[in-house]
DNA sequence: GCCAACGTTGGC
DNA sequence: GCCAACGTTGGC
């Protein structure tokens, strides 16, 4: 499988892209949803990940990269969930808002739009390019 | 701050 | 194994 692309959500008040840049890398844990867990397990080192700010901002603001593949989430007492490690790549030239993404027919099938509450979702190669273009890149 | 959507849990 | 109740997420 060639490298895939993904989108993760985070509330900036909890953990923003600026926090990731400051930290250099972070353990992406706390995911408690089986669909999202499945995606975490599929991630491979080097996969590119859009970093989306939910609630405040509601926009894709940056690109991160998978630094470590799925391992048991230590914050999960049941032992059922996994975490990955992410590191920052770069901020987008301009954030791409949810509103803009919804308005773009090329992104009508985007998983995070179709299933709003999913915190980790796949992004196709075409969707990736479309979002980069909207970011002015 | 509210509420709709939806995933998970637990009783039966 | 079904389904109602509950909790959480996230857009508005």
Q: What are the mean pLDDT values of chain A's consecutive 10-residue runs (137 residues total)?
A: 86 94 96 93 96 94 96 87 96 96 94 93 96 96
Instruction: Give chain A's domain count.
Output: 1
Say yes or no: Cβ of A11 under 7 A from any atom of strand B. Answer: no
Residue A42: give the domain boundaries.
Answer: 5-134
Say yes or no: Cβ of A115 under 7 A from any atom of strand B. Answer: yes
DSSP, res A136 = T
CB A25 within 8 A of CB A67: yes
- What pLDDT does A2 receive? 55
Domain CATH for A51:
3.10.590.10
Say yes or no: Cβ of A2 under 7 A from any atom of strand B. Answer: no
DSSP, res A115 = S
- What pLDDT does A126 receive? 95
Nearest 5°: phi and psi at A91?
-75, 150
pTM of the model: 0.94
Q: Which residues of A12-33 are buried (b: 16+ CB within 10 A; e: fewer)?
A: beebbbeebeeeeebbbbebee
């Amino acid at each position: 499988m060639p490298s895939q692309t993904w989108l993760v959500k985070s509330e900036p008040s909890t953990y923003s892209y600026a926090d990731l840049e400051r930290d250099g890398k972070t353990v992406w844990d706390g995911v408690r949803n089986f669909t999202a867990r499945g995606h975490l397990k599929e991630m491979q080192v080097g996969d590119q990940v859009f970093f989306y700010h939910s609630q405040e901002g509601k926009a894709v603001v940056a690109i991160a990269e998978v630094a470590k593949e799925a391992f048991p989430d230590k914050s999960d007492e049941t032992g059922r969930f996994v975490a990955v490690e992410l590191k920052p790549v770069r901020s987008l030239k301009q954030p791409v808002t949810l509103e803009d993404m919804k308005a773009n027919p090329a992104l009508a099938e985007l998983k995070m739009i179709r299933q709003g509450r999913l915190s980790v979702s796949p992004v196709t190669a075409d969707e990736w390019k479309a979002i980069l273009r909207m970011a002015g890149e």
